[in-house]
Amino acid sequence: MAVVITVAQQKGGTGKTTLAANLAAAFAPSRRVALLDIDPQKSLGRWHSLRRARLHQAAALACADIAGWRLPAELERLKRDHDVVLIDSPPQLDTDARVAVRAADLVLVPIQPSMPDVWAAEGTLRLAAEERRPAHLMFNRTPPASKLRDAIATDLADRRLPLLRSTLGNRAGFAHAFAAGLGVTEVAPRSTAAAELRALLAELQELIE
C-alpha cells in the first residue's frame, strides 16, 4: 500500500504544484510513484504530459487527474499499485481537498515567508486536524536571510505549529525544470535547489517511516 502525501494550502501560488512535481521526480528512481492532480487548473497533469513526451517512459510516473465522486475509488486504485501517491490540490478547501487530506499519511503545506500565507495555512491545518491527519508547514521561496522568516518560525514554534526544518529557496531552477517536465534533481543535480529538494525528501522519509 502506498504512502499518500497531499500537498495542500488554500492560498494560491505558494508552490504546491512545483513541490508535488519535484518530489515525484526525486522519488521516481527508487519508488513507484503516482501523481493525482485534483486541481481543475491541471498544471501537474500538464507537467506530466511534458515529461512523458520528453522521457518516453510514461510508466515511470503514473498520473491521474480525476476529481469529484470518482476520486475515492481512483485513490484506492493508485494506492494498490504504487509506493508513493502525491496529490496536488487546488487553492481552496473544497470537498475534493478534504478527501485528499483525509487520504493523506502526511499533508504538506507550503508557505512563503509572509503573513497572508501563514493565515491561509491555518485553515488548511485546521482541516487536517479535523481529519486527524499529520500536517507540516514548509517554507518555500525563502530569501537567503530573512528576519521575517525567522520571526514567523518563532511564532509558529510558540503556537506549536509543525514546521519542517527543510526549506526551498527562491530559485529560478524550479520554474526551468518544471517547464521541461522535469524536477530540479534531474535537470541540475548539483544545484542548490536539488540539494534543498534532497534534504526535504530525506526529512519526509523520516516522517513517513
Q: Using CB under 5 A, list all residues that contact Mg ion.
A: 16-17, 43
Question: Is 146 one of the binding residues for ligand ATP (CB under 6 A)?
Answer: no
Q: Is 91 in the site for ligand ATP (CB under 6 A)?
A: yes
Chosen from Mg ion, ligand ATP, none, partner binding at 142 (C-beta under 5 to 8 Å by type): none
Strands 106-111 and 3-7, bridge-based pairing: parallel
The site that binds ligand ATP (CB under 6 A) totals a number of residues, namely 19
One of 6, 14, 124, 185 touching ligand ATP (CB under 6 A): 14
Q: Is 6 in the site for ligand ATP (CB under 6 A)?
A: no
Site string for ligand ATP, 155-174 (x = CB under 6 A): -------------x-xx--x
- Told to check if 49 binds ligand ATP by CB under 6 A, we report no
> Between residues 90 and 113, which has the closer beta carbon with respect to Mg ion?
90
* Residue 13 binds ligand ATP (CB under 6 A): yes
Part of the chain binding ligand ATP (CB under 6 A), chosen from 15-23, 52-60, 70-78, 129-137: 15-23
Q: How far is CA 4 from CA 14, 37, 50, 96, 102, in A?
A: 20, 13, 24, 15, 10
Task: Please count the other Cβ atoms lying within 10 Å of the Cβ belonging to residue 34.
Answer: 25
Q: Give the Cβ contact number of residue 24 at 10 Å.
A: 27
Q: How far apart are CA 179 and CA 181, in angstroms?
A: 6
Which residues between 177 and 196 bind ligand ATP (CB under 6 A)?
178
CB neighbours of residue 116 within 10 Å: 11
Q: What single-letter amino acid sits at 97? A: A
Tell me how many degrees the CA angle 152-121-109 measures, rounded to the nearest 5: 95
**Among 161, 169, 115, 125, which Cα is nearest to 145's?**
169
Give whichever of 68 and 80 is closer to ligand ATP, judged by the CB atom: 68
DSSP helix, strand, coil percent of the chain (3-state; round to 5): 50, 20, 30
Position 113 contacts ligand ATP (CB under 6 A) = no
Q: Site residues (CB under 6 A) for ligand ATP?
A: 12-18, 39, 41, 43, 91, 140-141, 168, 170-171, 174-175, 178
